[in-house]
Chain A
């Protein structure tokens, strides 16, 4: 086929050839974030047919603009260069061989782990040291996060079953209907019982007499508290990396993040419009400092979660710490207060060293503990999908 870029008018064969070439090349591109789907392949000729009706002809510029417009914003720059390469007849072979070399340079960790030399902890250490700022490293974190999401969502499916299908749900939270509540959530059985207990006829029902079920398994509001005190020095790399995985896993939910040592450092509050990549960046860039005081950070977490309407969000607080707190009693009080607010508290302990005394001082309240030993690190996605 002649170079498309040199043609004044394009035929329908040109359009189909360009579309198939463009979709194929985009799927091969390393830089592409969202691989083109069949819908995109169908959209290109459809949109071009409309352009043809408008202008009476199709030009190479139309191919480029439609190829770009049907690509996701993150990939539009790549789409433009791929479309231009196709128009100018540039082959993909030269580029591919270069990319293969780049991939080769990034692969040794995979081959090492494959040979069984590296333990889980060693693998984590290597990731941290060699791929800290690398795109591939981020992709691997995201892949782990995706596994957590998939496992956790398959567990949550039951929450979408109706009461009729499931029978009474233990511990289900009911509250009176209020303007703005989803009418689909009205429990008529409970509402009628409520009316009868007040001696009212159904015709006398007012909106607040209706009873609504709390929807579960929907959005979460999660506070991440990351201990960056001096005692976390050796453990921080693990703690931060697993924190980053959880940030990715919970990216669709409302997140808040703070670091703490003697002081508290608020990185993101709920509803701040901050890209998740910036939050992960902050998480991965933290370095350890001095003594640990946890009360302030936990108070901040409690305030943040207190602003969240528990009817619409499941509230969680995830604490990454070795529990070497100087103010253990106050920390224990704060954790108890969170538990009383129906906030799910998850404590993630690092693999290197834990202050058992500090943990015991907090006492047994309603929280879950995940201790990241070598065995748990290899099963992290499975464990966290249950915990969150």
Chain B
């Protein structure tokens, strides 16, 4: 079962609605897909669900080169040459493990999966079983559930979910950037909030929001960026430093550089610094 490690999650607003919908969906045997930009808490929500329902948790990030054998498992070819096709030679993959243990299988970025991989998910979703050649049919435990995630910006991309799989992903749960109050709470629970007063947290949120809304930056700033800036600021204060405007601008620009496409770091850094200074000027 998923370890009871501390999950820093704020179950309010959209997260409460999404979690309830996730629970309802799995309870009636339907397959949910969490849709949202990176860093809004999709996998955290799925992980919390696994902990709350005391199920094991298996996670796979799909990409173009992933093959069904990575999900299903495979026979170790050298053992097969020594002993033939035997149970000992079969190393089950995360999907088969989740099915047999009655766990949660989190299919991350499912829209990036090759059609070959997408097709290998159809049988477990529809029949709750999987036929492994030379080994036999594996039947899923009744607690097995597949939860998928996808980034909406990529849904319309060159990687598409096949019609057959789309039709089996039955409940589409959207998550977006949370409102100010919720996002500030998320930042607080994820860093040493004792060293940061509310004004500093407000400033950090204001910078992240302003960067997120800037159309010139390729990637919107995620919640993780706010948490990272807050962690650096908290550490700076705990070391006895003075969190001046320039220090905060420097932390913000270093963290938020991930919003740049790569080759234009210098101009992006300049843009972020300008935005940060403009935002902080409002605080006097």
Seen from chain A, the residues whose Cβ lies within 8 Å of a Cβ on chain B are 34, 37, 39-40, 43, 46-47, 49-51, 53-54, 65, 69-74, 76, 177, 180, 182-184, 186, 188, 191, 202-203, 205-207, 210, 218-219, 251-255, 271, 273-277, 279, 309, 312
Q: A55 — nearest CB in chain B belongs to which residue?
A: B20
Q: Which one of B160-168, B189-197, B198-206, B232-240 is at the interface?
A: B160-168
The complex places the Cα of A34 from the Cα of B156 at a distance, in Å, of 13
Residues of A within 8 A of B116 (CB): 218
The complex places the Cα of A69 from the Cα of B168 at a distance, in Å, of 13
Question: Which listed residue (B21, B35, B77, B158) contacts A73, Cβ 8 A?
Answer: B35
- CB of A276 within 8 A of CB of B158, answer yes
Interface residues of B in 171-189 (CB under 8 A from A): 171-174
A164: shortest Cβ distance to chain B, in Å?
Answer: 12
In which size bucket is the chain B interface? 35 or more
- CB of A252 within 8 A of CB of B77, answer no
Residues of A within 8 A of B157 (CB): 273-276
Residues of B within 8 A of A37 (CB): 167
- CB of A73 within 8 A of CB of B20, answer no
A-B contacts, 21 of them at CB < 8 A, read: A39-B167, A39-B168, A43-B30, A47-B28, A50-B28, A65-B21, A76-B172, A76-B174, A177-B77, A182-B68, A182-B69, A182-B74, A183-B69, A191-B81, A202-B82, A205-B77, A219-B114, A275-B157, A276-B156, A277-B156, A312-B65
Residues of B within 8 A of A49 (CB): 28
Question: Which listed residue (B154, B163, B172) contacts A69, Cβ 8 A?
Answer: B172
The complex places the Cα of A63 from the Cα of B25 at a distance, in Å, of 15
Residues of B within 8 A of A183 (CB): 69, 74-77
Decide yes or no: A70 and B171 within 8 Å by CB, A206-B78, A273-B157 being known contacts. yes
Residues of B within 8 A of A40 (CB): 167, 170
Question: Which listed residue (A72, A74, A253) contacts B158, Cβ 8 A?
Answer: A253
Question: Which listed residue (B78, B153, B160) contacts A205, Cβ 8 A?
Answer: B78
- CB of B172 within 8 A of CB of A70, answer yes
Decide yes or no: A69 and B77 within 8 Å by CB, A275-B156, A276-B158 being known contacts. no
Residues of A within 8 A of B68 (CB): 182, 184
The complex places the Cα of A37 from the Cα of B170 at a distance, in Å, of 10
- Give the tally of cross-chain contacts (CB within 8 A): 114
> What are the interface flags for B51-75 relative to A under an 8 Å C-beta threshold, 1 for contact and 0 otherwise?
0000000000000110111000011
The complex places the Cα of A37 from the Cα of B166 at a distance, in Å, of 11
The complex places the Cα of A277 from the Cα of B153 at a distance, in Å, of 12
Verify if B258 is at the interface (C-beta below 8 Å from A).
no
Residues of B within 8 A of A71 (CB): 172
Residues of A within 8 A of B101 (CB): none
Question: Which listed residue (A53, A203, A253, A275) contacts B81, Cβ 8 A?
Answer: A203
The complex places the Cα of A275 from the Cα of B171 at a distance, in Å, of 23
Verify if B92 is at the interface (C-beta below 8 Å from A).
no
- CB of A47 within 8 A of CB of B64, answer no
The complex places the Cα of A182 from the Cα of B93 at a distance, in Å, of 12
Decide yes or no: A219 and B25 within 8 Å by CB, A40-B170, A183-B77 being known contacts. no
Verify if B24 is at the interface (C-beta below 8 Å from A).
yes
Residues of A within 8 A of B30 (CB): 43, 46-47
- CB of B81 within 8 A of CB of A69, answer no
